[in-house]
Amino acid sequence: MNPKPTLRDKKKEATAYALSQSAFELALELGMDGFIVDDVVQKAGYSRRTFANYFSCKEEAVAEYFMGNISKEDKNILLTGLSPDATPLDALYNLLKLQFTSEFLYQLRQFVSLANQYPSLEPYILSVFRRLQIAAQQTLEQFSHGRYADGYTHLLAGAVYGAFVPILDGRLNVMLPGEAQDEHSGAMSFDQYLNSMFAYLRNGF
């Protein structure tokens, strides 16, 4: 069982989030070449030394913005709200609905677009998805309590999170929540894509 976060833990999380949010906002506004670490700390209200305690570079700070999108409290709500006969697929489906809000998906697409423009960000795309996948896998393991074979949660999380990459980089014509249909001719909705993906996982290809 994970220990309850202390006040110090919460303060550190808040500091990291403030720095990463400032870095992401500056990246959107100015591009990765348009700002430096000093701009990030000035915008967030911290020192450069504080920044160095959390991040090695501005690219890492931008990517970190996407790691705090789902709290431990949200995960606990998810796990306690599932029915006793729910499957890991049910748990993962509900986790994704909780995690991938319209705002988060839109910002994640902006991040992928930035990475396409600035090669220095490209290595961090994989890092973001890997960490999201690990967090989901840990939630599934907490939910399943060893009822499934080793590797099953890895397989589920890897398949589902991998399926989001072509949506965000534009290879699949999927309309994100809140986007207008006339902006994406012939696109399926995000919910349609999500449901079809889980239908494949439940019923086979």
In a shared domain, residues 179 and 79: yes
The rounded distance, in Å, linking the Cα atoms of 104 and 110 is 10
Q: Quote the pLDDT of residue 76.
A: 66
In a shared domain, residues 136 and 73: yes
Q: Is the dihedral of CA 128, 133, 138, 143 positive or negative?
A: positive
Which of these three, 62, 80, 109, is where a domain ends? 62
The rounded distance, in Å, linking the Cα atoms of 175 and 88 is 26
In a shared domain, residues 84 and 29: no
Q: Quote the pLDDT of residue 2.
A: 54
Q: Report pLDDT digits (tens) over 26-51.
A: 999 999 999 999 999 999 999 999 99
In a shared domain, residues 185 and 199: yes
In a shared domain, residues 17 and 74: no
pLDDT at 72 > cutoff 60: no
pLDDT at 68 > cutoff 70: no
In a shared domain, residues 94 and 116: yes
CATH of the domain at 22: 1.10.10.60
Domain tally, the chain: 2
The rounded distance, in Å, linking the Cα atoms of 66 and 105 is 10
- Identify the domain containing residue 150 by its residue range: 66-203
Q: Quote the pLDDT of residue 69.
A: 55
Predicted TM-score (pTM) of this structure: 0.79
- Burial class of residue 5 (count of CB atoms within 10 Å of its CB; 0-12, 13-18, 19+): middle
In a shared domain, residues 109 and 195: yes
In a shared domain, residues 28 and 72: no
In a shared domain, residues 107 and 147: yes
Rounded to an integer, the average pLDDT of 52-67 is 93
CA–CA distances in Å: residue 84 to residues 80, 81, 143, 205:
9, 9, 10, 27
pLDDT at 73 > cutoff 60: no
In a shared domain, residues 40 and 93: no
More confident residue, 189 or 56: 56
Q: Indicate the residue type of 124.
A: Y
